[in-house]
Chains A and B, each alone.
Chain A
């Protein structure tokens, strides 16, 4: 059986210590929604950097705010019902202050997104061919003109040629037949490949994959993961990979950010996070993952995710934490740099005076 290596050799991994060049810088992103029973503080002070050409995993339980983070970057929520604060620096601009029109130029062009259910994120009323040609017309007018000049052909034929090239790139074959199909007529794996082709048409700097493989079978998922990883390395595209599957984070991503109840509790290189997890939540989460080849009972984090309308005071994890101290119930833990690139928000690692006294 031909096995394809997902793990690139070590020297191909991005070296952050030389020239860390964040393509996206998020600082203190705070999002709250107005609900009938009060204000839900969905995100509180989320900060992280996304570097050029890296794959960053954003992991956490359901309701920890992973998707909200991604969607609020591009302002995909109705503005009336929510309040957003903080900074999202991309290309010298703060995305949160841009008007909808200015933001529309960024969406798809520079930052594109793929979603969990591929079939439902493709318009069911138009064939796959119609949809991709519309986007090619929108994003690649120069390329169309170049092909028309070179081959002296009609616009339609030029678009077809580009579509074929782009779809071949994501591993789709028999393009002529595929372009006449509708979203419901293709399998989940094919639909997700097609979505990736659309998302990468404009050569974006950032691709946000929101649970992009969660709805797929493991065998299909392996295909899609390999494709994303290859394309990312080839084009130097940064991927923000939102997932609840720690296996994907371990095998595909360069760095991992762990989210809990609207805060990032730990960020670090994948190897370190899995080898020496620092935050008690990360440790609990890793113990709950079923490991093939091991049969002992699974451990779990007791309790459940807090109600975000009335989140716990201090550290939001303290009601479930085994190492809770009195300071955890009163103050919010700061982000502490434990090692280079490895940061954690927990009082266990704080060298403050109050903590030393206990």
Chain B
């Protein structure tokens, strides 16, 4: 097993760390998810779409890790790779200390129930021909064969967990509103008694008021059931409410991992800063200036050489075009992938902008 340097370092400091951050539930070591892009005449793939490229990440027990980035940066693919729903090209995925990266479908079966996923569109992820009892019962049956009487009881308990009423159990998905449907999806994910849940843009399709309800529900469930979350979203502003730590992804790579509480005020990577500046804040008094990020998201089949963000970055220098930056630690479990991480941080450039200084 080969771990990057920052990872080894974090292992050495482990004893001093608090209990909660002690054991990673999910450990990703240099994972790659590549999809074939072009083949030559003999059928050999000569160009790949590198949706996830060299990602190493720890997700600790009981924490909720946010994963944020623009569309097409590979964040959903990373979530699906961890659950082994997308093909893993190389690298290692450790789930509770067990290597699951090389397992086949049969071997994965016993882990499937412990890792669940909640999708963006609740309407599309619930079978319209099944009642809520059947939807939940199907998931309950995965764990163990149980009696019909018992599973009605357990299904009602699940509905209670997500604040739905028992009489809802014989209804069909279309009879519910979007927020309620998302609650049912969460109940279904909880049915197998999982340790780890991936929320793939789970609140993006919902209204703000409903989104607030779902985020509060998720937080409550996490404490109650000691769950670990990976919360994938394109919306930076909900990260602080929903997550403990946030990983920022750009063009298949994670560029920054930072505590959610400090991410918005002290972003360390120019991309995080740009992403932050583009969020319209719901306060006209703030005179928040919408920052405009030049250029477009690179194609994952041919990402820019060197640092992937350099064509759009305002701090780029020669080295950025030649060498992909390594990882600089910014905290116990936090790091940033930038050549000038320290300098930019010392100058405080990322807080103000260059012209202002």
A217 CA to B312 CA in the complex, in Å?
16
User: Which chain B residue shows the least CB distance to A60?
Assistant: B207
User: Which chain A residue shows the least CB distance to B271?
Assistant: A219
In this assembly, does B273 line the interface, its C-beta being within 8 Å of a C-beta of chain A? yes
> Which of A6, A285, A299 meets B289, CB within 8 Å?
A6
Interface size of B as a range:
35 or more
Instruction: Say whether B261 contacts A289, CB under 8 Å.
Output: no
Instruction: Say whether A293 contacts B215, CB under 8 Å.
Output: no
When each residue 1-22 of chain A gets 1 if its CB lies under 8 Å from chain B and 0 otherwise, what string results? 1111111000000000000000
Residues of B within 8 A of A34 (CB): none
Instruction: Say whether A251 contacts B290, CB under 8 Å.
Output: yes
Instruction: Say whether B237 contacts A61, CB under 8 Å.
Output: no
Residues of A within 8 A of B177 (CB): 304-305
When each residue 248-283 of chain B gets 1 if its CB lies under 8 Å from chain A and 0 otherwise, what string results? 000000000000110011000010011111111111
Instruction: Say whether A61 contacts B209, CB under 8 Å.
Output: yes
Residues of B within 8 A of A248 (CB): 280
Residues of A within 8 A of B219 (CB): 297
A227: min CB distance to chain B, Å:
10
Residue count of chain A within 8 Å CB distance of chain B? 52
Among B207, B238, B240, B274, residue most surrounded by chain A Cβ atoms (within 10 Å): B207
In this assembly, does B133 line the interface, its C-beta being within 8 Å of a C-beta of chain A? no
Contact status of A7 and B278, CB under 8 A, knowing A244-B207, A295-B261: no
Interface positions of A from 298 to 337, Cβ below 8 Å from B? 298-301, 304-305
When each residue 179-200 of chain A gets 1 if its CB lies under 8 Å from chain B and 0 otherwise, what string results? 0000000011100000000000
In this assembly, does A345 line the interface, its C-beta being within 8 Å of a C-beta of chain B? no
Chain B residues with CB under 8 Å of chain A are 70-71, 177-180, 207-213, 215-216, 219, 234-238, 240-241, 260-261, 264-265, 270, 273-285, 287-293, 296-297, 314, 353-355
Report 16 cross-chain contacts, Cβ distance below 8 Å, ordered by A residue: A4-B291, A6-B290, A219-B70, A244-B207, A246-B208, A247-B281, A250-B280, A270-B284, A271-B284, A274-B284, A292-B237, A292-B276, A293-B264, A297-B219, A298-B215, A298-B216
Please name 12 further chain A to chain B contacts, defined as beta carbons within 8 Å, in addition to the given A6-B290, A187-B297, A291-B282, sorted by A numbering. A2-B353, A4-B291, A219-B70, A219-B278, A248-B280, A274-B283, A285-B209, A288-B209, A290-B240, A294-B240, A298-B211, A300-B212
